[in-house]
A = this chain, B = another copy of it.
Amino acid sequence: MLANTLPTHDAALSELTALLGDRLSTGDAVREQHAHDESWHHPEAPHAVAFPETTQEVSEIVTICARHGTPVIPFGTGTSLEGQVVAVEGGVSIDMMRMNRVLEVNAEDLDATVEAGVTRKKLNAFIRDQGLFFPVDPGADASIGGMAATRASGTNAVRYGTMRESVLALTVVMADGRIVKTARRARKSSAGYDLTRLFVGSEGTLGVITEVTVRLFGIPEAISAATVSFPDIESAVNAVIITIQSGIPMARIELLDEVQIEAINAYSGLDNPVAPTLFLEFHGTEAGVAEQAERVGEICQEFGAGNFRWATQQEDRNKLWQARHDAAWAAKAMKPGCSLWPTDVCVPISRLAECIVETKKDLETTTIPAPLAGHVGDGNFHLVFLLDRDDPAECTEAERLNDRLVQRALAMGGTCTGEHGVGLGKMKFLQAEHGEGLAVMRQMKTALDPQNIMNPGKIFSI
């Protein structure tokens, strides 16, 4: 699986074995587990996988790798979507999942500090009894370190922000093994450069995130959810735009197109009307939720919506959101044996209806099924191409559609990825998106990782 031209890194591996014993694995099965994420990108295995248990150990691992010029690839739950963890130049994957302790919950300050391998569901289970929750929800039960590294967001971001807003501080092991704490727990600070935001979204290319301090929120007094279907996708998106512009503090406002609805009906045994559908959630006081729901109901009706289905009990809400989160699996079931190629873009919300309508028109010209779902309150939506990997024509066609999607978003003032990150899949669009800014990113990378050992080959080539 390793290209023959890669160096073998024997000296580094031997020092790492001395450090970690059987917590350094070179077995094929483990290496292949760490060769891929959930994306369509070609897997490439690392030479070895390290399983550190402390920040200090991560520092020692990176120090050894730096001495030998060995690539370092941080690895969490492997649920990234653009090939972020593929070991394109070999090297050592650092599997962070044994660093899975919740270190500190400060209920009074509404924050918690966790090791990078704690998943969002684990944190939420840990803090639920204190009436707290961590809102960022990308669907997968991702590690919080990985979510920080990819600047993840998801269904709740419209109300609670993305990882950009949710991370208060990080502990990071730099490319030379130094351990850096990016900030303190104070809610705001003007004390120098924003090191926290430097690493959030850096996808492992600047350092290994080992601890994360995140903002928490009180579980709302009242929560209510609903689905509502629309005559066409433009009406659904316009209802979202008016809702956001009205300042209604939506907790979630998600769009699934008729293709995706048909898929989840089949997959989850549901009977939603096969039409563009919004999934809504309201958080607040009892009176506040009722007021929000009434206003949004009125807006939706103005756009011809019908078939409101309310879910106020937790069980019903869980069912509703599970169906939303299963969208990708439901899509996969539409075309047995297919591979998923998920992609996402984000545009200013004023251009969202136009962008989605044009994208849907494009999809009419192809035979590749591509359900659409989106965090439309943020102007962010996803396609997932269902393709036969062994059919080069289908791969070429998906690439063409993806290119057109991204170019359309860029032309509308948008970005090539709202939340999946760059990884391998979006690298080719960064010059068009950032222009001279890409050179600045390269300068930062070169300054902080002069040997280019941190997750090399991702975001940009050096």
Which residues of A are in contact with B by a Cβ distance under 8 Å?
A: 106-111, 150-153, 157, 161-162, 164-165, 174, 178-195, 197-198, 200-202, 206, 217-218, 220, 241, 244-247, 249, 285, 287-288, 291, 346-350, 378-380, 409-410, 413-422, 426, 429-430, 433-441, 443-448, 459-460
Contact = CB atoms under 8 A, between A and B. Distances in A.
Contact of A443 (B287, B346, B448): B448
A121 B355 CA distance: 34
A23 to B, nearest CB: 26
A192 B418 contact: no
Nearest to A174: B440
B426 A191 contact: yes
A198 B189 contact: no
Contacts of A183: 415, 437
B191 A422 contact: yes
Contact of A178 (B244, B413, B436): B436
B190 A108 contact: no
Given A106-B350, A108-B349, A441-B195, A418 B186 contact: yes
Contacts of A249: 249
A220 to B, nearest CB: 7
Contact of A444 (B106, B174, B444): B444
Contacts of A110: 244-245
A15 to B, nearest CB: 23
A188 B347 contact: no
Contacts of A441: 192-193, 195
Contacts of A192: 201, 422, 430, 433-434, 437-438, 441, 459-460
18 contacts: A108-B348, A151-B194, A161-B165, A162-B188, A164-B197, A179-B436, A184-B413, A186-B418, A188-B418, A190-B418, A192-B430, A192-B437, A193-B441, A198-B198, A218-B246, A218-B247, A287-B291, A444-B447
Nearest to A290: B287
Contacts of A433: 184, 191-192
Nearest to A426: B191
Given A180-B435, A444-B448, 14 more contacts: A161-B165, A180-B437, A184-B413, A185-B348, A186-B418, A188-B378, A189-B346, A190-B419, A190-B422, A191-B421, A194-B201, A198-B440, A218-B245, A287-B291
A349 B193 contact: no
Q: How many copies does the complex hold?
A: 2
A186 B218 contact: no
A193 B185 contact: no
B109 A184 contact: no
Contacts of A440: 174, 180, 195, 198, 448
B379 A241 contact: no
A263 to B, nearest CB: 25
A348 B109 contact: yes
A166 to B, nearest CB: 11
B349 A434 contact: no
Among all A-B residue pairs, the 3 with the closest Cβ atoms = A447-B447, A197-B197, A108-B350
A186 B347 contact: yes
A414 B350 contact: no
Most B C-beta atoms less than 10 A away, residue of A109, A188, A349, A415: A188
A106 B348 contact: yes
Given A247-B217, A415-B186, A195 B437 contact: yes
B444 A184 contact: no
B187 A109 contact: no
Nearest to A107: B245
Contacts of A108: 241, 245, 348-350
Contact of A379 (B187, B414, B435): B187
B247 A220 contact: yes
A186 B414 contact: yes
Nearest to A220: B247
Contacts of A459: 192-193
Nearest to A182: B437
A188 B380 contact: yes
B186 A190 contact: no
A164 B194 contact: yes
A108 B178 CA distance: 46
B350 A109 contact: yes
A96 B444 CA distance: 27
A162 B202 CA distance: 22
